[in-house]
């Protein structure tokens, strides 16, 4: 009876976590390929909160001792994803600043070439 309960619990946990992790990976990969800002925003507003709710639900399962390792792994993946997203957002902002700096330098160079520089 206990084994059936554990098997059921593992099945439910896998059923809950598998699509979320798959979506999280798909979102992260799509961030690297397509509309980065929109995808990053969806990750921050949709995927991560759902993963947080899943972690809370898994923590409330009665056979928690059987799931502790799984929960630790999920929490670790969740925090790793937060760090990765923070790094990606930093890189995005840095590129934006670099582009602005480059445009400013080009304008200044053009002014100097046209004799408008001071």
pLDDT tens figures, 61-76 = 666 666 677 777 777 8
- Give this prediction's pTM: 0.42
Q: Does residue 7 carry a pLDDT above 60?
A: no
Q: Does residue 100 carry a pLDDT above 90?
A: yes
**Residues belonging to the chain:** 118
Report the share of the chain in percent with pLDDT over 70.
Answer: 50
Q: Does residue 1 carry a pLDDT above 60?
A: no
Pair 111, 117: CB distance under 8 Å: yes
99 pLDDT tier (thresholds 50, 70, 90)? very high
- Write down the mean pLDDT value for the chain: 72
d(CA 8, CA 19) in angstroms, rounded, equals 18
- Nearest Cα neighbor of 50 from 76, 21, 77, 72 is 21
Residues 4-11: what's their mean pLDDT?
56
Helix 64-113 vs helix 2-33: crossing angle, to nearest 10: 10
Long-range contacts of 97-104 (CB under 8 A, 24+ apart): none
> What is the pLDDT, as a whole number, of residue 81?
81
77 pLDDT tier (thresholds 50, 70, 90)? confident
């Amino acid at each position: 009876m206990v084994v059936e309960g554990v098997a059921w619990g593992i099945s439910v946990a896998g059923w809950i976590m598998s699509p979320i992790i798959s979506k999280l990976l798909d979102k992260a990969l799509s961030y690297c390929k397509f509309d980065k800002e929109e995808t990053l925003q969806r990750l921050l507003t949709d995927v991560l909160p759902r993963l947080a709710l899943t972690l809370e639900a898994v923590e409330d399962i009665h056979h928690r001792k059987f799931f502790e390792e799984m929960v630790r792994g999920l929490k670790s993946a969740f925090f790793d994803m937060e760090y990765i997203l923070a790094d990606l957002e930093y890189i995005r902002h840095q590129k934006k600043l670099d582009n602005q700096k480059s445009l400013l330098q080009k304008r200044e160079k053009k002014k100097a070439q046209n004799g408008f520089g001071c």
